[in-house]
Amino acid sequence: MKDERIEINYKSYDSLAELSDADAELLKKSEEARLNAYAPYSKFHVGAAIRLENGEIILGTNQENAAYPSGMCAERVALYYAGSQFPNSVIESIAVSAPSANALPVPPCGACRQVLLENEQRQIKKIRVLIGQTKGKIIEFDGSESLLPLAFKESFLR
């Protein structure tokens, strides 16, 4: 037996002022999108903003349903919309904003991480992930594998 480790790398920022203008704009858009979230049950409003390589910005919000499994996370709403409306465009970055009781940025759930990975595999390019709010700490991941080590990939299906 061997003890092994998996490590991830990420960048952290103490404030919005440390981000590039483009990243700051994307995070602001994700926070603004939260206002349109439909979260009558959890009251947990999440917004996502995607920047495509062509400069287009796609917004998504979480959409709940009384039958809980029927709801959808903000990240997947935005990713699926981008795939549907801009099927040949490369997703450059996604910013996700959610309220946090302990002031730490809220990461995407496992299902959203898997969908991010699928999009990266489809476009053969990593998607940068920013999580945080316009006030407080912000974390940047260089791609989904930093969020989802030992991910399930299409190569396992062969």
Annotated catalytic residue, options 31, 64, 75, 120: 75
> Cα–Cα distance between 48 and 138 in angstroms, integer?
14
**Annotation says 7 is catalytic:** no
Q: Is residue 4 part of a domain?
A: no
Amino acid 26 reads L
- Map tokens 């480790």 to a residue: 5
Whichever domain contains 92, its CATH number is 3.40.140.10
Q: Is residue 158 part of a domain?
A: no
Number of domains in the chain: 1
H or E element, residue 47:
strand 47-52
Q: Determine the structural domain holding residue 98 and report its residue range.
A: 11-150
Q: Is residue 2 part of a domain?
A: no
Provide the pLDDT for residue 121. 94
Give the residues of the chain that fall short of pLDDT 50: none
Sheet holding 57-61, edge to edge: 11-13, 138-141, 128-132, 91-97, 47-52, 57-61
Provide the pLDDT for residue 71. 95
pLDDT tens-digit readout, 9-25: 999 999 999 999 999 99
DSSP 7-32: ----EEESSGGGS-HHHHHHHHHHHH
Q: Is residue 157 part of a domain?
A: no
Secondary structure, 3-state, 86-119: CCCCCEEEEEEECCCCCCCCCCCCHHHHHHHHHH
- The pTM (predicted TM-score) of the whole model is 0.94
> Cα–Cα distance between 94 and 58 in angstroms, integer?
9
Provide the pLDDT for residue 154. 83
Does residue 79 contact residue 25 with C-beta atoms inside 8 Å? no
Q: Is residue 106 part of a domain?
A: yes
Q: Is residue 155 part of a domain?
A: no
pLDDT tens-digit readout, 128-145: 999 999 999 999 999 999
